[in-house]
Structure 1
Amino acid sequence: MTVKDIGPEPQSFDLESATLENTNYRAVAWSGRYLQLTLMSIPVGEDIGLEAHPETDQFLRLDAGRGRVQMGPTKDQLHVDQEVEDGWAILVPAGTWHNVTNIGDEPLRLYTVYAPVHHASGKVQATASDAQHDEQSGTDEPPSWSVQPAQQPPDGHA
């Protein structure tokens, strides 16, 4: 199943099937004015990477695999350390350092809702390295129709 990001237009699709079929590290499935939906696939033994989004809340839901989520107020104080699996939700308040690691024996399939929009509309990144490159090169910016905070500090990465 391929989902095309049609921007801030009404959209509907089978989210669970799309999440389970996604093999890309990250694929933006829908970008609205105030929030965004991405599909993710984290390979065995890999992780999202320790990060913090100062002005972005996140909701993540696992649809396949097993993971370990770590969260906290600083990159050195990750007081939440929880194993998660299919059906679990992870709620990340803005500014919280967080990481999700695949500790299972299959790809970790999940989707993420960002508010406000965090990535370029329709952006597909096959690997975490591609995502890092796009962020560093400035080719993964939110679309102009999205509503962004007036002063948005840069994301933190460990």
Structure 2
Amino acid sequence: MTIKDIGPEPQSFDLEKATLENSNYRAVAWSGKYLQLTLMSIPAGEDIGLEAHPETDQFLRLDAGRGRVQMGRTKDQLDFDREVEDGWAIFVPAGTWHNVTNIGDEPLQLYAVYAPVHHAPGKVHETAADAERDEDSGDDEPPSWSVQPVRQPSDKHA
């Protein structure tokens, strides 16, 4: 199932099917004016990467696999530590350091909702390295029509 990000237009699709069929590290499925949906697949033994989004709240839901979520106020104090699996939700408040690690034997299939919009519409990253390269080069910026905080501090990565 291929989802085409049509921007801030009405959209409907089988989210669970799209999430389970996604094999990319991250694929932007829908970009609205205020929030965005991405599909993610994290290979066994890998993680999303420790990061914090100063002005972005996140909601993540697992549709397959087993993971470990860690969160905290600083990158050195991740005092929230839980195992999660299919059906679990993760809520990441803006500014919170967080990471999700695949602790299972199969890909960790999940989707993430960002508010405000965080990535370029329709952007697909096959691997985490591709995502990092695009972020470093500035090739993964929110669209000009999305509503962004007045002051947009940079994300933090460990």
Percent of aligned positions that are identical: 85
Whole-Å separation in 1 of the counterparts to 2:154 and 2:99: 17
Partner of residue 113, structure 1: 113
Partner of residue 146, structure 2: 146
Partner of residue 71, structure 1: 71
Which runs of structure 1 show a deviation greater than 2 angstroms over 4 or more consecutive aligned residues?
Answer: none
Whole-Å separation in 2 of the counterparts to 1:121 and 1:145: 11
Partner of residue 18, structure 2: 18
Amino acid of the structure 1 residue aligned with 2:40: M
Corresponding residue SS for 2:39: strand
Amino acid of the structure 2 residue aligned with 1:88: W
Partner of residue 125, structure 2: 125
**Cα deviation code 1:30-83 (max 9, x no counterpart):** 000000000000000000000000000000000000000000000011010000
TM norm structure 2? 1.00
> Cα distance, 1:115 vs. partner?
0.0
Corresponding residue SS for 1:75: coil
Whole-Å separation in 2 of the counterparts to 1:9 and 1:65: 31
Pairwise CA RMSD = 0.3
Aligned positions, number:
158
Whole-Å separation in 2 of the counterparts to 1:109 and 1:143: 26
Output aligned runs, 1:38-57, within 5 Å.
Answer: 38-57=38-57
Where does structure 1 lack aligned partners over 5 or more consecutive residues? none
Asked if residue 28 in structure 1 is aligned to residue 41 in structure 2, the reply is no
> Cα distance, 1:157 vs. partner?
0.2
